[in-house]
Amino acid sequence: MKKALIIDDDRSILTTLEIYLEDRGLEVFTASSGVKGLELFHRETPDLVLLDMKLPDRDGLDILREIITSGNQSHVLMITAYASIETAVSAVKMGAFDYLPKPFVPGQLDLVLERLKRFHTLETEVAALRGIFSEGGILTRNRKMRRILQTARQAAESNAIILISGESGTGKGLLTRLIHDWSPRAEYPFVTVDCAALQENLLESDLFGHVRGAFTGALRDKVGKLRLAEGGTVFLDEVSEIPPPIQGKLLRFLQHREFERLGDPVTQHVDVRVIAATNKDLEELVRDGAFREDLFFRINVLELFMPPLRQRPEDIELLTEHYLKRSARMNTKAMQHISPDALQRLQNYPWPGNIRELINVIERGVIMAREAAFSIDDLTPNIVNFKPSSGSSPALESLADMEKNHIQNVILHADSLEEAAKILGIDPATLWRKRKRFQLD
């Protein structure tokens, strides 16, 4: 464990626990309210959260519910008065690791942390034996995904700009956060810029900052997110949506690590690592004149492609079991299993919304379920009524599509690109050209 977050309105407990955990080598964040605690949780994604059951602005169980549904694999330790032990037990059933009754002594916390350490070690060993990667909210046994994650871990040690591509809902944001946590910059800020959510002038201000009076509505100076991320990582989510006028300013920053705030002639310099993500084909946008070619080459130093869920069929059961149990805890349901026929429907479905869609389907089904097991009756109609192409009547496709699908399938099951080239009977250079042509990872 690297990071811990303490959420408690008792100043003496905050100070005592902060000193205790820092002495054990953890980076500690503290909050005396639920709102501030959740803000720190989403920003820092701590490994351990010590959460008071009663806070001045939020109920501890509500905060626990948000932590669990976030997908971050944080362990939560509830802090409660003796009168609330029954509620603390309910919190454990919801997904908290354990609870500590007030008042407690350091020895009690030592025992809980030691159990947590053994649990984490055992969990890691079991996942490794099952060929499963489970970290930072990413869960997979797919060989291609594990190779991508291996590349990402290696790239995390560098300062290179990384471009993460893939369809919406495949986990690009989770991978970005994981790269930051693996990197030497992990102790510094991780800042997200949603390039698709803001109008042009607001996006420029969000990135670079502004001074008072720089534009209508600029009533005070603002520090941009590039400055806020000093020493850490800036995540440019949906980088394809950056308007052309801002693309030039971003290119200059990437080349020289310098920029000016809106309305301010003073040049600023920052040291940040940039990771960008997109669900669009940037090369096509370059050809259409919507994205600068020089900016594309600048951010495409190392590209990681997150495969869609339909190309990870072995992960559907794994992810379904994980989110089924999580949702059951959150909604205090006894449900732990899915019926074979319901699982088959999930495995046959193409998942255009990817993992995000799967999570929504599972959560809805758990809420609406009336039986102890998740069944076909708990699935949405579009999944129940979906009819996969029959093997006896295959859908017709072009020769180019057949070649693309065959190459993609070989790459998916080969241990390396060199092995894939041998299986296909072509040299690696030819495979590289075909991958570029068909936009395959």
Please spell the DSSP secondary structure of 33-53, one letter per residue: SHHHHHHHHHHH--SEEEEES
Is the pLDDT confidence value at 390 over 60?
A: no
Average pLDDT over residues 184-201: 90
- 12 & 120 share domain: yes
- Give the whole-angstrom CA distance, residue 375 versus residue 366: 10
92 versus 230: the higher-pLDDT residue is 230
Per-residue pLDDT at 391: 47
Q: Quickly tell me which residue has 């800042």 as its tokens.
A: 191
Asked if residue 342 is part of any domain, the answer here is: yes
- Give the whole-angstrom CA distance, residue 267 versus residue 279: 33
Scanning 70-105, the segments in alpha helix (DSSP H) are: 85-94
* Among candidate residues 254, 281, 305, the one where a domain is terminated: 305
- Give the whole-angstrom CA distance, residue 88 versus residue 96: 9
Per-residue pLDDT at 111: 87
Do you find a cis peptide bond into 313, omega within 30 degrees of 0?
no
Asked if residue 394 is part of any domain, the answer here is: no
Per-residue pLDDT at 441: 62
Burial 98-117 (b: 16+ CB within 10 A, else e): bbbeeeeeeeebeebbeebe
Asked if residue 72 is part of any domain, the answer here is: yes
Q: What is the mean pLDDT of the chain?
A: 87
> Sheet harboring 273-278: ordered strands across?
190-194, 233-237, 273-278, 162-165, 302-305
The secondary structure of residue 390, as a DSSP letter, is P
Q: Structurally, how many domains does the chain consist of? A: 4
Per-residue pLDDT at 342: 94
Asked if residue 196 is part of any domain, the answer here is: yes
- 104 & 152 share domain: no
- Give the whole-angstrom CA distance, residue 123 versus residue 129: 10
pLDDT band at 282 (very low <50, low <70, confident <90, very high): very high
Average pLDDT over residues 240-267: 92
- 31 & 8 share domain: yes
pLDDT band at 87 (very low <50, low <70, confident <90, very high): confident
The candidate with the shortest Cα–Cα distance to 50, out of 83, 23, 15, is: 15
- 145 & 294 share domain: yes
Asked if residue 133 is part of any domain, the answer here is: no
Is the pLDDT confidence value at 33 over 60?
A: yes
- 152 & 281 share domain: yes
- 195 & 343 share domain: no
Range in 16-25, 231-240, 299-308 the model is least confident about: 16-25
- Give the whole-angstrom CA distance, residue 353 versus residue 42: 23
Q: What is the pLDDT of residues 123-170, one digit of tens each?
A: 666 666 567 888 888 999 998 899 999 999 999 999 999 999 999 999
Per-residue pLDDT at 393: 39
Per-residue pLDDT at 84: 64
How many C-alpha atoms does 309 have within 13 Å on its Cβ side? 26
pTM equals 0.70
- 315 & 282 share domain: no
Enclosing domain of residue 206: 138-305
